[in-house]
Amino acid sequence: MGFPDIRPRRLRTTPAMRRLVAETEVAPRSLILPLFVREGITEPVPVTSMPGVVQHTLDTLRKACVEAVEAGVGGLMLYGIPRAKDANGSGATDPDGILNAAIREVVSEVGEASVVMADLCIDEFTDHGHCGVLAADGSVDNDATLERYAEMALAQAEAGVDLVSPSGMMDGQVGVVRRALDGAGHTNVGVLAYSAKYASAFYGPFREAVDSSLKGDRKTYQQDPANATEAMRETALDVAEGADLVMVKPALGYLDVVRRIKDAVDVPVAAYNVSGEYAMVEAAAANGWIERERAILEVLTSIRRAGADIVLTYWATEVARGFR
């Protein structure tokens, strides 16, 4: 498996991209807003475990993206929730599927004013809820899954995405995605790799947000929370395979990993302030146990202080507005 030629210019392609990866200023431009869009609904559906977060319609998604961009948020990460699922997650590669339709809508709405990203994983689209194709014994087939990821990357690139974000923790996923993109002429589409993604208890609310069908767990492909050196190996492999940015997920329980990776690589480092971290703060604040705005800023500051250049957070727009 040969590696692609490395093109650092991918991170200089637009003013929004250059603003996103600038190395010093702490500002709204370093925040990414994750957004959920659901097929077949006419009104936003609240995510009960994440107060203030909803599953969007295409129309409300566009509006939320405009609000985020106007507030100065640096990027938008899209997740699609299909009406129907199957074993191979076919909706993920359908050009008219909800995620690819959402990419086109958002790119059309905000253009070069933001960096439009999309999750590159089939778990939201599979009826078994795993991040890959299942083998006969029920295990996740790594190499068969890579073929689906390559197809999904091309579908997202054709829809106009700026960055694809392979999140399934399959071995070799970045290299396969990079080669697929380059082979189809999408050399300016970048890769934000989920390089150190842990099998965490803090994803619970997210699974409600994406209507996950998962039974069991993902411990055979996501990392063991006990391991940090393993994260360094995973990240080094992703960078070697052509990742333009790398990510640690979750953030708060893994700030040491964020710092170690930041010190080791020469690409921007992102950290995902995940749903469980968000929900804990919101629940404690709702009960009057902590000061909400101070806690939010302290959480995000700690992630940046640990070395994250970019933070994915559901508070992105609110923080960018200065809690107005």
List helix spans (H) across the chain. 15-21, 58-71, 98-110, 142-159, 173-183, 204-209, 229-241, 255-264, 275-286, 292-305, 316-320
List helix spans (H) across 111-251. 142-159, 173-183, 204-209, 229-241
What CATH architecture does domain 8-320 belong to? Alpha-Beta Barrel (3.20)
Per-residue pLDDT for 153 more than 60? yes
**Domains of the chain, residue spans:** 8-320
Mean of the per-residue pLDDT values of the chain: 93
pLDDT (tens digit per residue) in 104-129 = 999 999 988 999 999 999 988 998 98
- The two tokens of residue 305 are 């202080």
Residue 153 phi, psi dihedral angles, 5° rounding: -60, -45
Residue 119 phi, psi dihedral angles, 5° rounding: -65, 130
pLDDT (tens digit per residue) in 261-308 = 999 999 999 999 999 999 999 999 999 999 999 999 889 989 998 999
Q: Which residues are catalytic?
A: 197, 249
**pLDDT band at residue 214, thresholds of 50, 70 and 90?**
confident
